[in-house]
Amino acid sequence: MTRYFEVTHRDGAARIGRLMLDRRILTPVVLSAELLRNRQGSIIDCGCVWDDRMITSTDPDKLLILPHRSLSLHAPPEMIDRHHRDGVPNHEGAVGEVIHPMQRRTPQDHDLYVIGAASMLEGSARLLVDTVLKLKNSTMPDTAVYAPALATPENLAILIYLGIDIVDDAAAVISGYQDTYLTEEGGRSIDRLHEFPCVCEVCARVKEPEQLRDMPRFERARLLAAHNAIRLSEEMKVVRECIRDGRLREYVEKQCRSRPYLTAVLRLLDQEHAYLEERTPAVRKSVLIANTAESMHRVEVTRFAERVISRFTPPDVDTLVILPCSARKPYSLSRSHARFIDALRGYRQQIHEIILTSPIGVVPRELETIYPAAHYDIAVTGEWSLDETAWVSSCLRAYLAKHTYRNVIAHVSGGFAEVCRIVEHDLGIEITYSALDDPVSDDSLAGLRECVAGSASSRNRRSYLDTVRAIADYQFGRGIGEKLIPDHAHIKSRRSGFRIFVNHDQVASSTRYGTLALTLAGAARLPDDIYRVEIDNFLPKGSILAPGVIDSDPQIRQMDEVIVHGSIAFGVGRAMMSGREMVESSRGIAVDLRAVEER
């Protein structure tokens, strides 16, 4: 825990925060390597224990990086552990510690962790991912991580996405002295540059690469270093804006295409699902853009697919109808689905509908308004890649393996039909195909209606209450819908959504994300142990800060609906950090409280 670092925005493992030293430092940040070397900034590096200039005390308003030894990345672990040094006397302020990637000793509690030999991680995707995750998983969530001499405009986005908070301009400056001109697309030798793709103050002054090449070597290096540092700082501003907008993942997917090494980092990170899942919000305000093969491995996609299997209970009917997705979301508002619905008129209470889509997988009709099912966009070409076919097939296979129907009707064509045939073969089931080449043609729709008419059961479903129960189950866990919304509940609709009432008391309302916002009456109907945040002995008047949290449900994610329990307080609100962060952090807003009452 730290008193000096507070996170204010999160986007996966990336975050915006502030270091509170002699001045407030907005993170993620690019530090000046020159200021660090001259010990003139807010962060003071004590230096190597072999350095004659090693500091033993400093201003308590500055952060002090403890003395360390400069060891190779592949130094023997016993040497790394033997050369560790504890603390600096006479320093009462923030403290940072250098952690070597091969270090076996558990890091002590500090305010900043510096990755040792970080520059040697460049080009080694597996080692970079393993080093950052090992450090992040073994330290408190509200401490900052600094990777020195590693960042360039090209790799900055993926470094921040990994969870690094602080970088410096050392690598960018060194590149300048090596006659390398950096942009976010990578580095180019000044000898092969024909014009400047930049209008920074350096490029605007020099105007032509030829003019730069004709300069004395030192002057040329100084200007190139200045340009590289400027581009790095500009790229950091872009990254911070992406974090604020909740679209850093989309930017990283684009940015990592410049080099196979960066793509490898992203793919390896996606394999660390638990690390990313804990840090990924339940919903985002931005549309999920799925433009690459890596998009199918996003936490939002895999989390939705997992919850459809683990939390969703289909209605008790005999017939399943599989439909294709549409460009417009929710699907029910699209022209194609309006025609499907019209063709199914009179039978919809006796069947169950699911929608196949890439990259989301299987979307039950009841969950079509929930993030991300109603909040994604993808390039539509009519052709499915092998990765898309494999992923959506796995989702449909898992769904039909768990939920059996007497009749399965697939009103799909093209890649959708191929997915159904794969699953039909794998599970040994029979699927009826009702569509011709175009599922919305009159003949196809007539075929759909004929198939449904011959297979629909006479058992009727309750209508919208079942849909809202399914949403509650998806959000809070299987069976919660029945507890929150009994048979005598009723729903009042309005343009902006709906409200749910039980015995004239409002228990919940819909949100822009398709989820439910609880009232105090609704929270009281839920079990005490789910999405619970336990607070100390006080009655909160506004947002609940992390120091006030005693315990919390570990499954809580940022933007989840949570229920606040205290000895004298009961409330509802939205989580602003994960459940683990609430307990382990010493600063920051844990819950944005919406309603509270005294017990």
Alpha helices for 123-247 (secondary structure H):
125-137, 156-162, 170-177, 201-206, 209-213, 217-245
What confidence score (pLDDT) does residue 334 get?
A: 97
Is pLDDT of 538 > 60? yes
Lowest average pLDDT, out of 44-48, 134-138, 267-271, goes to 44-48
Residue 459 — very low, low, confident or very high, per pLDDT cuts 50/70/90?
low
Residue 60 confidence (pLDDT)? 84
225 compared with 493, residue with greater pLDDT: 225
**Full-model pTM:** 0.93
| pLDDT band per the 50, 70, 90 thresholds, residue 333 | very high
pLDDT of residue 88: 55
Could you tell me if 590 and 550 are in contact, meaning their C-beta atoms sit under 8 angstroms apart?
no
pLDDT at residue 50 tops 60 = no
Q: Are 113 and 139 within 8 A, CB to CB?
A: yes
- Neighbour-count burial for 486-513, b at 16+ CB within 10 Å, e otherwise: eeebebeeeeeeebbbbeeeebbbbbeb
Residues 138-154 have pLDDT tens digits of 999 999 999 999 999 99
pLDDT classification of 37: cutoffs 50, 70, 90 = confident
C-alpha 58/C-alpha 114 separation (Å) is 19
Structure tokens belonging to residue 50: 């072999």
Q: What is the pLDDT of residues 54-70, one digit of tens each?
A: 565 568 889 988 877 77
- pLDDT of 356 strictly over 60: yes
DSSP assignments along 520-555, one per residue: HHHHHTS-TTSSEEEE-SS--SSPEEGGGEEEE-TT
Beta strands in 85-140, from DSSP E residues, in sequence order: 95-99, 112-115
pLDDT at 380: 87
Residue 205 has pLDDT above 60, yes or no: yes
What is d(CA 352, CA 322) in angstroms, rounded to the nearest whole number? 9
Residues 577-583 have a mean pLDDT of 97
Mean pLDDT of the chain: 93
Give 245-311 as a DSSP string: HT-HHHHHHHHGGG-HHHHHHHHHHHH-HHHHHHHS-S--SS-EEE-SGGGGG-HHHHHHHHHHHHT
| CA–CA distance, 132 with 164 (Å, rounded to integer) | 8
Average pLDDT estimate for 373-383: 92
Residue 161 in this model has a pLDDT that exceeds 80: yes
**pLDDT value of position 89:** 55
Is the confidence at residue 399, as pLDDT, over 60?
yes
**What integer pLDDT is reported at residue 426 of this predicted model?**
98
Contact 179, 224 (CB under 8 A): yes
For the chain, domains (ranges, CATH) are 1-168 (3.20.20.105), 171-246 (no CATH), 288-453 (3.40.50.10630), 483-598 (2.30.130.10)
Say how far apart CA 48 and CA 505 lie, in whole Å: 66
pLDDT value of position 105 = 76
pLDDT at 74: 74
Task: Note the pLDDT of residue 510.
Answer: 96
CB within 8 Å of 504: residues ≥ 6 apart: none
Please provide the distance, in angstroms rounded to a whole number, between the alpha carbons at the two ends of the chain: 31
* Residue range 296-314: mean pLDDT, rounded: 97
- pLDDT at residue 362 greater than cutoff 80: yes
Among the residue ranges 44-48, 151-155, 239-243, the one predicted with the least confidence is: 44-48
Q: Where are the beta strands (DSSP E) in 369-489?
A: 376-378, 407-410, 432-433
Please, which pLDDT band fits residue 368 given cuts at 50, 70 and 90? very high
